Amino acid sequence: MSVEALPAPVRTDFPTGFVWGAATAAYQIEGAAAEGGRTPSIWDTFSRIPGKVRNGDTGDIAADHYHRYREDVALMAELGLGAYRFSLAWPRIQPAGSGPANEAGLDFYDRLVDELLANGITPVATLYHWDLPQTLEDQGGWLNRDTTHRFAEYASLTARRLGDRIGTWTTLNEPWCSAFLGYGSGVHAPGRTSPAEALTAHHHLLLAHGLGVGALRAELPATAQVSLTLNLAAVRPLTGDPADLDAARRIDGLANRIFLDPVFRGSYPADVLADTAEVTDWSFVHDGDLAEISRPIDSLGINYYTPTVVAADDPEHPAPRQDGHAGELSPWPADTGVRFLPAEGSRTAMGWPVDADGLYELLTRLRDDLPGLPLLVTENGAAYDDYSDPSGAVHDPERVAYLHGHLDAVRRAAADGVPVGGYFLWSLLDNFEWAYGYGKRFGMVHVDFASQRRTPKDSARWYAEVIRTGRLPR
Ligand code: FCB
């Protein structure tokens, strides 16, 4: 055979074995809130408090994925997804928040996982994407240290049943949001507004992560991958002025190092302890906690949407906090002297500036700070005001542009030595966007919530082509 007859080598823009996925979360898509023995979570309670969720929306029905999971897996297969990141609903699996598992709840995930595997899609499971059983909230929720032990118990009984088929496990999704939006600004469940409580919840969530890692390792085969997903911030000072640099240091502490240091170094950063001394004495940290929290993990999941621009406060020109988080109160427990400004560029329907360089900055920073740690982009995507046109098509060129830019940032980061092994688009389906209800559409698949009809948007077709070729269109 002549050399010319050899097939051209397949060139892709992404590392060999790069995982292409999409992500969802239980409360945002499942519905069937009172079926199969599920009890209410803090989001069922919170969404019923008037004024907490736009339009009074709840996750009662959501995208009805509990009943339509087969159709949804078929869609994933059609799009060529290699992996699917979803969360398990604690109140489905352990409705009382402690004690034995609810077999009917586990059965649902059993069926889902089998369906994924039958379609060649790798399941990636998150144990906690914000839906704490209400019964545990009634006992103090994340302010109660005992909740951390309950979480480890829930992790064990879930891994015992599904660990033979799920190879990648994530303990928590975005504990920053659980702690700081749930207990600081109160815009998320359970809706508390105390900076001291936000830090208590933060520590207990990290302790739950550490105990959960231990519980998972005890149940899972040695090949299992155990991870944590954080919404780390790409923090940028507005100028090089020392006061702006100090604002950036403070917010980098409260967004990033308050997680990375305990998890990867076994200590809380001294400057964060000093910055928050006005709020708490951190006496909720007990001997041995940091050893639990820093149990080794196999990879880190990064969720990225938009950068965080900060400057020193200017008392002469007070300006509203523009950190992308709704609510009158600041979620940040000790952001004294800090002004949050939007990055430049066009905005998504969430009002979040589109800035793909932030993702590159974050990934390369992690390469430098945590050398060798495998990274996954576990969420990235955008909400736009999508609608289906008279022909039934959903054209979403802004989302295609957003994804193109951010995937290019991942490509550049990988080319520059970042060990990034996969990308999970947020989200597979339009869904219940927490305090924004169904008004914000993040899906690459449009959902008509009245009929539950699914329609892949142009971005889904675009993403399927990127997956198929391994390349970004030039
Ligand atoms: C993340 C959440 C996810 C979704 C996206 C838009 O913070 O993890 O559930 O709401 O934002």
Q: Is the C-beta atom of 303 inside 6 A of ligand 1?
A: yes
Mind listing the pLDDT tens digit for each residue in 309-346? 999 998 888 888 999 999 999 999 999 999 999 999 99
For 379, phi then psi, to 5°, come to -155, 140
Stretch 40-65: mean pLDDT, rounded?
98
pLDDT of residue 317: 84
Cα separation values, 128 from 37, 93, 173, 294, 437, Å: 18, 12, 6, 18, 20
Structure tokens at 307: 């950068």
Atom of ligand 1 nearest to the CA of 177: 7
What does the alpha-carbon distance between residue 198 and residue 183 come to, in Å, rounded to a whole number? 5
Residue 287 has pLDDT above 50, yes or no: yes
Distance 126 CA to ligand 1 centre (A): 13
User: What distance in Å separates the CA atoms of residue 156 and residue 90, rounded to the nearest whole number?
Assistant: 12
- What's the pLDDT score for residue 1? 45
Q: Is 38:89 a contact under the CB 8 Å cutoff?
A: yes
Q: Is 153 in the pocket of ligand 1 (CB under 6 A)?
A: no
- pLDDT, tens only, 166-178: 999 999 999 999 9
- What phi and psi, each to the nearest 5 degrees, are found at residue 338? -115, 135
Mutation test residue for ligand 1: of 325, 377, 379, 406, the one with most atoms within 8 Å of CB: 379
β-sheet bridge partners, residue 126: 87, 170
The band of 7, judged by pLDDT with boundaries at 50, 70 and 90, is low
Q: Is 345 helix (H, G, I), strand (E, B) or coil?
A: coil
DSSP character at residue 5: G
* pLDDT-above-70 percentage for the chain: 98
Residue 9 pLDDT more than 70?
A: no
How many of the other CB atoms lie within 10 Å of CB of 7? 5
The mean per-residue pLDDT over the stretch 244-265 comes to 98
- Three-state helix/strand/coil letters over the chain: CCHHHCCCCCCCCCCCCCEEEEECCHHHHCCCCCCCCCCCEHHHHHCCCCCCCHHHCCCCCCCCHHHHHHHHHHHHHHHCCCEEEEECCHHHHCCCCCCCCCHHHHHHHHHHHHHHHHCCCEEEEEEECCCCEHHHHCCCHHHCCHHHHHHHHHHHHHHHHHCCCCCEEEEEECHHHHHHHHHCCCCCCCCCCCHHHHHHHHHHHHHHHHHHHHHHHHHCCCCCEEEEEECCCCEEECCCCHHHHHHHHHHHHHHHHHHHHHHHHCCCCHHHHHHCCCCCCCCCCCCCHHHHHCCCCCEEEEECCCCEEEEECCCCCCCCCCCCCCCCCCCCCCCCCEEEECCCCCECCCCCECCCHHHHHHHHHHHHHCCCCCEEEEEECCCCCCCCCCCCCCCCHHHHHHHHHHHHHHHHHHHCCCCEEEEEEECCECCCCHHHHHHCCCCCEEEECCCCEEEECHHHHHHHHHHHHCCCCC
Spatial separation of the C-alpha atoms in residues 231 and 334, rounded to whole Å:
18
Answer yes or no: is the C-beta of 312 below 6 A from any ligand 1 atom. Answer: no
Closest C-alpha among 379, 375, 359, 377 to residue 428: 379
What's the 140 CA to ligand 1 centre distance in angstroms?
24
List, edge to edge, every strand of the sheet that includes 235-237: 235-237, 308-312, 338-341
Cα 350 to ligand 1 centre (Å):
11
Determine how β-strand 235-237 pairs with β-strand 122-128.
Answer: unpaired
Give 10's pLDDT tier (boundaries 50, 70, 90): low
Using DSSP bridges, classify how beta strands 453-456 and 445-448 pair: parallel, antiparallel or unpaired. antiparallel
> In one letter, which amino acid is 377?
V
pTM (global) more than 0.95: yes
Ligand 1 centroid vs 241 CA: distance in angstroms? Answer: 33
Q: What is the pLDDT of residue 332?
A: 98
Annotated catalytic residue 153? no
Residue 438's pLDDT is what? 98
465 catalytic? Reply is: no
Q: What is the pLDDT of residue 6?
A: 65
Average pLDDT over residues 202-222: 99
pLDDT of residue 315: 87
Given the residues 30, 174, 197, 433, select the one marked as catalytic.
174
Name, in order, each residue with C-beta under 8 angstroms of 414's C-beta and a sequence gap of 6 or more: 14, 15, 18, 420
Helix intervals (H) in 302-422: 357-369, 397-415
The mean per-residue pLDDT over the stretch 18-35 comes to 99
pLDDT of residue 150: 98
Average pLDDT over residues 275-296: 98
Average pLDDT for the chain: 97
Cis amide leading into 41 (omega within 30)? no
Question: What's residue 5's pLDDT?
Answer: 59
For range 337-359, the mean pLDDT: 97
Amino acid of residue 362? L
Q: Is pLDDT of 350 > 90?
A: yes
Query: What's the rounded Cα separation, in Å, for the pair 25 and 85?
Result: 8
